[in-house]
Amino acid sequence: MDQQSAKRESGGKRIEGVMAEIRSRIAARGLVPGSRLPSVRAFAKTMQVSPSTVVEAYERLAGEGLIRSRPGSGFYVSSPLAPLTLSEIGPKLDRAIDPLWVYRQSLEDAPELLKPGCGWLPASWMPQVAIRKALRAISRGEGRVLVDYGTPLGLPQLRQLLSRRMGERGIAAAPDHIILTESGTQAIDLLCRFLIEPGDGVLVDDPCYFNFHALLRAHRANAIGVPMTPSGPDIEAFERAIDEHRPRLYITNSSIHNPTGATCSPVVAHRLLKLAERAGLTIIEDDIFADLEHEPAPRLAAFDGLERVVHIGSFSKTLSASVRCGFIAARADWIEPLTDLKMATSIGGGRLSSELILLLLKDGSYRKHLDALRVRLSRAMDETAARLAPLGITPWIRPQAGMFVWCKLPDGIDAADIAQACLADNVVLAPGNAFSLSQTARGFLRFNVAQSDDPRIFRSLERALKNAARSPGLLTGNR
C-alpha cells in the first residue's frame, strides 16, 4: 500500500468514525429530531479530527437523509415522519412555488394578498346568512349539543341525510356505513393508516391536489403519478403503473378533478374499476366538489357499490371551512376498525360542527346556496377565461363545473417564473408543478375563478409574461 492510499484509507476511517458517533447519538436520542448538530469546528475538536473530515461526514449523513442541512444555520437531525416540503423532495424550488408555502400564505390573514391560486371560495361567496341563523338556532337548542362528545360514528341524523344524498347520486351507503370525520383530509388520512404500510405504492393523478403528495409522504408511501386526460386518468398508463408497481391504493377526484376540472367518463370509470379489481386495488374517491356539479357525473362508488371504492366528502369547499366536517362511506366490515382508529387518534367528529351542517342541510338553505353558487361559478369561469385569453393563457379544457380552470401558458414560459414575479405584486398563483409528481406541468397555472375578479391580477400577469418573454435566460435561469 503506498503512502497516499494509506492516507486516504485512514481519512475514510476518520470520516466513518465521525459518522458512527453521530449515528449513535441519534440512536441514543442524545440528538433528537430537529436538534442542531454540534458545529463543525467544535465537533472536529471533540473528535480530534480536521474540520474537513467533519464536513465530509455531515454531508454523507445528509445524503443518507439522517440529518438535513439548513443553509446558513448548520445541520439538523431529520424528523423521521414529518413530510418534507416539496422543495426538499423535488428539484430545488424557491418559496414562491413551494406549494406548501403558497398554501400557508393563502391561509394567513393577509388582506393585501390577491389569491387566484388558492383552493377555496371567497368568504363573501359562502352562505353566511344561513350559518348565522343556524348558530342562533343552536344557541337556543339542546344543552348536550353544546357540550357533549359526539357518538363514535358521528351524529346519526346527519349520517342519515348523507346516506340519502349519496343515494341520489346512485351510491348505496347505509347510514351505518358512514363515519363522520373532522375533514375530508382527515378521512383520507384515516384510510391511509388503515390500508397502507410504509413503502406501499399509491397511485395519484398527475397533476393532483398537492396535499395528497404531502399526505402520502407522511405515510411514507410510494406515490406514483398517472397522467390525467380530459376524461379521467390515462387508462393505459394506469394499467402499466399497476403492473409495474403493484400499488395498494388509488386516490382521485372522479368528478371536477382538482386541479384540471376533468371528469371521469363512464368508459374510463368502468375500465378503472375492472383494473382495480384485477389488481386488488382500493380506490379512494375524494368527492369534495360534488355539490358544485350541474349534472351528477357517474361516480366510481356508484358503479362499484363500495366494494373496492371508498367515498369521501366534506363541506369545506361549499359551505364552510371553519365548521369542520367530513365523512367516509365504506364497506360494512371496515366501519368498526376505522371507527376504532378514529377514536384512538382524534376522538373526532365534533358534535357542534355536525349539528350545524345538519341544520343547514335540512332547512333547504344549502340547496338554495348551491343553486346560486353554480350559476355564479359558471359565469366566473367564462369571465376568467375571457380575461386570460388576451394574455395567451388558455384553458386545458372548459370544466363542466367547479371553481378551477387549469390553464396553459404561452409556449416556453415557466409558471414558476410567473408565480415568482406576481408574488412581488402580492398576487399568489398556483404554478402547475405544485400539483405534478413528475414535474411536467411547468407550463400550467391553476386559476380559482371565484378569486380572479380583480383587474390587478391580470395586469400583474401581463407584466410578468412580458418580462419572461423578453428575458427568458434571466428568469428561467439554469433550471
Q: For residue 120, what is the DSSP state? A: S
Nearer of residues 319 and 449 to a copy of itself, judged by Cβ:
319
Kindly tell me which residue out of 20, 42, 135, 474 binds a copy of itself, with binding defined by CB under 8 A: 135
Q: How many CA atoms lie within 13 A of 68 on its CB side?
A: 14
C-alpha cell at 195: 390500508
Q: Within positions 26 to 45, which residues make up the interface with a copy of itself, using CB under 8 A?
A: 28-36
| Contact call for residue 117 and a copy of itself (CB under 8 A) | no
| Residue 283 C-beta: closest distance to a copy of itself, Å | 12
Nearer of residues 217 and 408 to a copy of itself, judged by Cβ:
217
List Cβ neighbours of 23 (8 Å cut-off, separation of 6 or more): 61, 66
Q: Within positions 338 to 357, which residues make up the interface with a copy of itself, using CB under 8 A?
A: 338, 340-341, 343-348, 350-353, 356
**Cα torsion for 62, 66, 69, 75, to the nearest 10°?**
-110
Distance linking the first and last C-alpha atoms of the chain: 44
Nearer of residues 83 and 298 to a copy of itself, judged by Cβ:
83
Phi and psi at residue 396, to the nearest 5°: -65, -45
| Residue 39 C-beta: closest distance to a copy of itself, Å | 16
Instruction: Mark the segment that binds a copy of itself (CB under 8 A) among 16-24, 126-134, 260-268, 375-383.
Output: 126-134
| Contact call for residue 85 and a copy of itself (CB under 8 A) | yes
**Alpha-carbon span 103 to 125, nearest angstrom:** 20
> Is 96:420 a contact under the CB 8 Å cutoff?
yes
Q: Within positions 216 to 235, which residues make up the interface with a copy of itself, using CB under 8 A?
A: 217-218
| Residue 317 C-beta: closest distance to a copy of itself, Å | 10
Kindly tell me which residue out of 257, 271, 324, 446 binds a copy of itself, with binding defined by CB under 8 A: 324
Helix, strand, or coil (residue 465):
helix
| Residue 177 C-beta: closest distance to a copy of itself, Å | 12
Q: Where are the beta strands (DSSP E) in 150-288?
A: 178-181, 201-206, 222-229, 232-233, 249-252, 282-286
Question: Do β-strands 249-252 and 201-206 pair in parallel, antiparallel, or remain unpaired?
Answer: parallel
| Residue 100 C-beta: closest distance to a copy of itself, Å | 6
Q: Within positions 245 to 304, which residues make up the interface with a copy of itself, using CB under 8 A?
A: 246, 248, 279-282
Please count the residues of this chain forming the interface with a copy of itself, following the rule CB under 8 A. Answer: 94
DSSP state string for 264-302: --HHHHHHHHHHHHHHT-EEEEE-TTGGG-SSPPP-HHH
C-alpha cell at 50: 480536521
Q: Within positions 397 to 456, which residues make up the interface with a copy of itself, using CB under 8 A?
A: none
Kindly tell me which residue out of 65, 296, 305, 337 binds a copy of itself, with binding defined by CB under 8 A: 337
Nearer of residues 100 and 385 to a copy of itself, judged by Cβ:
100
| Contact call for residue 123 and a copy of itself (CB under 8 A) | yes
| Residue 211 C-beta: closest distance to a copy of itself, Å | 6
Type and span of the H or E element at 157? helix 156-168
Kindly tell me which residue out of 43, 58, 75, 103 binds a copy of itself, with binding defined by CB under 8 A: 103
Q: Residue 333 is which amino acid?
A: D
Kindly tell me which residue out of 94, 148, 244, 371 binds a copy of itself, with binding defined by CB under 8 A: 148
Tell me the CA distances in angstroms from 225 to 48, 170, 342, one per residue in order.
48, 29, 28
Q: Within positions 169 to 208, which residues make up the interface with a copy of itself, using CB under 8 A?
A: 182-183, 185-186, 189, 193-197
> Is 407:263 a contact under the CB 8 Å cutoff?
no
| Contact call for residue 465 and a copy of itself (CB under 8 A) | no
C-alpha cell at 46: 471533540
